């Protein structure tokens, strides 16, 4: 189905961000005016195992004082970032870039100009890792072709795969010079300095308290009007299929004051949308603000349970969200992901009351079958999840909900799978991210369960899920006809410069014809709509002809 939008009103200085949703809507221009949205380490020393006998040498820096690494300056060396995985990896790369920039490194978007290639990796599924192995082979080729007049090209593997596969990375892929896990980015200048002398430098130590709270990330895309802000790291949930608790370690929260400072700075820089990131934002706790604690200490409602002991006291996510939302009423706030098992009403109240907090939730279900959910150790039943969705919709009318699902998990029968399909239809999600189960070593599922759904069957099931998704989104698109929506403009659409693209509150991409805006609310002069503007559009029918024309 095609849908068109008619631009009704526009606000010069307000906007939003892009994300993983891939649906798009389209539109045509008419009248503009102002929209009121007011209510709107210490270094962790460790390791350095190493490598090849001839050119490389084993260094253990944990106990020895090595004077020559005092010089950790980048001296203008160029770094190329190749980033995989989730939004948190993007934001981690911005932390890494901040740390390296401060040491005199430069960034290049041209891989052939790089002195150092840093691959920021993901380990969530086998496919994510395969991509990185393939790319490392390409980079090995670049290394060999490197002009001999220049210092050797160095390759660093960072992030979740580095944490999971440290030994293999060094043994199997000999071109790798640096291996750094998600909690050792402060150590990168030193690791890079070590690698300059042809040592393989490794730091994969996980931390209980590293949040990079004092590092102001430097955004990779300086033109973007949207930003990610990591509010916590690690995960204690231990879902049986998931590698994240092993690659990112224990859950810890960044203090509210540091998050608020960063968002204030982003607002001053003209950022119009911020997405708060954490593996389970609902268990956020700023324990440094104990004395102000007001909210109830546990939110576990009937039908929900948790495997770990909830933290006590401190400021919680609802407090953080409220503080962040009050910084700039023209800045849209999103967050991902809340875990269904501890969804407090306080958070829903803030979403409802604050106009600039998007009425949109990513609420990963993973499966619609209670016995599968039990084996996944998700901490809720199908019924409890459905009750929660109903409660959310009562408290926040018109909220849009999206989800993650896994098909083919250990022991998932045809009947179990059908329950997932019926859950998808019952909830009527605005969007879903759907994955085939991928066995991960170390996880409980790897140790205790059997990956017994054949690949072919997983593929059949995922296809049925995609068909269901298409059917549901067609249905939800239809319900939007005639509605007026606030769109944060991102820039030209992929189709044409005459067609602009932006995101609505539900994070769905919307295309609409380029138009003009008043220079100021009272001005007769006009200027083109720009990234960072908010426009209000009315969703209407759009013929295929329109799509062809543009
Ligand atoms: N912390 C987030 C999820 C982060 S991982 C949350 O709980 O919402 C993103 C998604 O990857 C998960 O929601 C899950 O759907 C999927 N995923 C995780 N491990 C997987 C595995 N082993 N195989 C397939 N998909 C997986
Ligand atoms: Fe993985 Fe579960 Fe933690 Fe999400 S909540 S990161 S799925 S262990
Ligand atoms: Fe993110 Fe992938 Fe790590 S999803 S947390 S980069 S395993």
- The residue among 382, 377, 445 whose CA lies nearest residue 419 is 382
| Residue 378 CA, ligand 2 centroid: distance in Å | 9
pLDDT tens digits, 227-276? 999 999 999 999 999 999 999 999 999 999 999 999 999 999 999 999 99
Atom of ligand 3 nearest to the CA of 84: 6
Q: In the prediction, which pLDDT does 299 show?
A: 53
pLDDT tens digits, 151-209? 999 999 999 999 999 889 988 888 899 999 999 999 999 999 999 888 899 999 999 99
**For residues 169 and 140, is the Cβ–Cβ distance under 8 A?**
no
- Ligand 1, atom 14: closest residue by C-alpha: 404
| Residue 85 CA, ligand 3 centroid: distance in Å | 5
Give percent of the chain above pLDDT 70.
82
| Residue 491 CA, ligand 3 centroid: distance in Å | 28
- Pocket residues for ligand 1 (CB within 6 Å)? 124-125, 241-242, 244, 279-280, 337, 339, 364, 366, 404, 406, 435, 437-438, 440
Q: What is the mean pLDDT of residues 64-78?
A: 73
248 C-beta closer than 6 A to ligand 3:
yes
| Residue 395 CA, ligand 3 centroid: distance in Å | 32
Six-digit token string for 130:
């395969």
Q: What is the mean pLDDT of residues 514-542?
A: 87
Q: Which of 83, 88, 130 to mutate to test the pocket of ligand 3 (most atoms within 8 A of CB)?
A: 88
> What is the C-alpha to C-alpha distance for residues 19 and 276, in angstroms, rounded to an integer?
13
Please check whether the two domains, 72-203 and 384-479, share a CATH topology: no
| Residue 15 CA, ligand 3 centroid: distance in Å | 28
> What is the C-alpha to C-alpha distance for residues 307 and 301, in angstroms, rounded to an integer?
15
Q: What is the mean pLDDT of residues 326-339?
A: 97
Residue 4 sits at φ, ψ, to 5 deg, of: -110, 160
pLDDT of 497 strictly over 90: no
89 C-beta closer than 6 A to ligand 3:
yes
pLDDT tens digits, 211-223? 999 999 999 999 9
- The residue among 178, 117, 106, 180 whose CA lies nearest residue 146 is 117
Q: What is the mean pLDDT of residues 329-354?
A: 95
One of 3.40.50.2000, 3.30.750.200, 1.10.3720.10, 3.40.50.300 is the CATH number of 384-479, namely 3.30.750.200
According to DSSP, the β-strands at 499-503 and 484-492 are antiparallel
244 C-beta closer than 6 A to ligand 2:
yes
| Residue 124 CA, ligand 1 centroid: distance in Å | 7
The better pLDDT of the pair 10, 104 is held by 104
pLDDT of 312 strictly over 90: no
Atom of ligand 3 nearest to the CA of 161: 7
| Residue 243 CA, ligand 3 centroid: distance in Å | 8
| Residue 435 CA, ligand 1 centroid: distance in Å | 8
Q: What is the CATH number of domain 224-358?
A: 3.30.750.210
| Residue 511 CA, ligand 1 centroid: distance in Å | 30
- Ligand 1, atom 4: closest residue by C-alpha: 279
379 C-beta closer than 6 A to ligand 2:
no
| Residue 42 CA, ligand 2 centroid: distance in Å | 28
Task: List 400's β-bridge partners, or say none.
Answer: 360
**For residues 496 and 548, is the Cβ–Cβ distance under 8 A?**
no
Q: In the prediction, which pLDDT does 16 show?
A: 26
What ligand has the least distance to the C-alpha of 307?
2
pLDDT tens digits, 359-369? 999 999 999 99
Coil/strand/helix, residue 209: coil
pLDDT tens digits, 76-90? 999 999 999 999 999
445 C-beta closer than 6 A to ligand 2:
no
**For residues 431 and 466, is the Cβ–Cβ distance under 8 A?**
no
- Ligand 2, atom 4: closest residue by C-alpha: 279
* Of 22-26, 111-115, 524-528, minimum mean pLDDT range: 22-26
What are the boundaries of each domain within the chain? 3-69, 72-203, 224-358, 384-479, 484-549
123 C-beta closer than 6 A to ligand 3:
yes
- The residue among 371, 527, 383, 500 whose CA lies nearest residue 24 is 500
| Residue 497 CA, ligand 2 centroid: distance in Å | 40
235 C-beta closer than 6 A to ligand 2:
yes
Q: In the prediction, which pLDDT does 476 show?
A: 87
Q: In the prediction, which pLDDT does 496 show?
A: 84
Residue 319 half-sphere exposure toward CB, CA atoms < 13 A: 20
> What is the C-alpha to C-alpha distance for residues 33 and 104, in angstroms, rounded to an integer?
46
Question: Which H or E run includes 512?
Answer: strand 509-513
> What is the C-alpha to C-alpha distance for residues 531 and 272, in angstroms, rounded to an integer?
10
> What is the C-alpha to C-alpha distance for residues 485 and 8, in angstroms, rounded to an integer?
9
**For residues 369 and 453, is the Cβ–Cβ distance under 8 A?**
no
DSSP for 236-288? Answer: ----TT--HHHHH-S-EE--HHHHHHHHHHHHHTT--EEEEE-SSGGG-EEGG
**For residues 170 and 203, is the Cβ–Cβ distance under 8 A?**
no
One of 3.40.50.12160, 3.30.70.360, 3.40.30.10, 3.40.50.300 is the CATH number of 72-203, namely 3.40.50.12160
Q: In the prediction, which pLDDT does 313 show?
A: 82
- Ligand 3, atom 4: closest residue by C-alpha: 86
């Amino acid at each position: 189905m095609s849908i068109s939008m008619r631009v009704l009103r526009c606000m010069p200085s307000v906007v939003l961000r892009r994300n993983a949703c891939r649906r798009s809507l389209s539109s045509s221009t008419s009248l503009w005016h102002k929209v009121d949205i007011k209510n709107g380490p210490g270094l962790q020393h460790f390791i350095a195992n190493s490598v090849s006998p001839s050119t490389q040498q084993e260094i253990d820096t944990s106990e020895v004082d090595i004077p020559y690494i005092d010089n950790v300056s980048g001296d203008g060396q160029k770094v190329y970032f190749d980033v995989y995985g989730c939004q948190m990896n993007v934001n981690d790369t911005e932390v890494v870039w901040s740390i390296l920039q401060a040491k005199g490194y430069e960034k290049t978007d041209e891989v052939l100009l790089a002195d150092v290639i840093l691959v920021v990796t993901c380990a969530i599924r086998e496919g994510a890792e395969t991509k990185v192995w393939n790319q490392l082979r390409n980079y090995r080729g670049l290394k060999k072709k490197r002009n001999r007049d220049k210092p050797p090209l160095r390759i660093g593997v960072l992030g979740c795969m580095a944490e999971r596969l440290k030994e293999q990375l060094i043994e199997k892929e000999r071109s790798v010079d640096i291996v750094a896990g998600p909690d050792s980015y402060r150590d990168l200048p030193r690791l890079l300095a070590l690698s300059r002398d042809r040592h393989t430098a490794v730091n994969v130590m996980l931390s209980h308290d590293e949040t990079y709270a004092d590092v102001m990330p430097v955004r990779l895309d300086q033109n973007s009007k949207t930003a990610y802000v990591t509010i916590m790291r690690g995960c204690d949930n231990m879902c049986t299929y998931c590698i994240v608790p092993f690659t990112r370690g224990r859950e810890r929260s960044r203090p509210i004051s540091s998050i608020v400072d960063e968002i204030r700075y982003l607002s001053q820089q003209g950022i119009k949308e911020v997405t708060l990131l954490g593996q389970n934002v609902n268990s956020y706790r700023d324990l440094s603000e104990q004395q102000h604690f007001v909210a109830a200490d546990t939110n576990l409602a009937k039908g929900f349970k948790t495997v770990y002991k909830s933290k006590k006291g401190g400021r919680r996510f609802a407090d953080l969200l409220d503080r962040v939302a009050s910084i700039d009423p023209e800045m849209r706030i999103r967050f991902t992901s809340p875990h269904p098992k501890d969804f407090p009403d306080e958070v829903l109240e803030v979403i409802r009351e604050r106009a600039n907090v998007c009425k949109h939730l990513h609420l990963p279900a993973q499966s619609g079958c209670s016995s599968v959910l039990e084996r996944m150790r998700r901490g809720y039943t199908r019924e409890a999840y459905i009750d929660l969705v109903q409660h959310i919709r009562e408290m926040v009318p018109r909220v849009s909900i999206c989800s993650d699902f896994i098909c083919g998990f250990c022991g998932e029968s045809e009947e179990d799978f059908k329950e997932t399909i019926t859950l998808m239809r019952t909830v009527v999600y605005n969007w879903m991210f759907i994955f085939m189960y991928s066995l991960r070593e170390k996880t409980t599922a790897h140790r205790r369960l059997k990956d017994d759904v054949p690949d072919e069957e997983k593929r059949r099931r995922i296809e049925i899920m995609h068909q269901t998704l298409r059917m549901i989104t067609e249905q939800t698109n239809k319900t939007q006809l005639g509605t007026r929506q606030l769109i944060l403009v991102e820039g030209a659409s992929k189709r044409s410069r005459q067609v602009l693209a932006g995101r609505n509150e539900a994070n769905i991409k919307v295309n609409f014809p380029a138009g003009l805006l008043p220079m100021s609310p009272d001005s007769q002069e006009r200027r083109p709509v720009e990234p960072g503007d908010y426009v209000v559009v009315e969703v209407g029918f759009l013929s295929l002809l329109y799509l062809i024309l543009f």
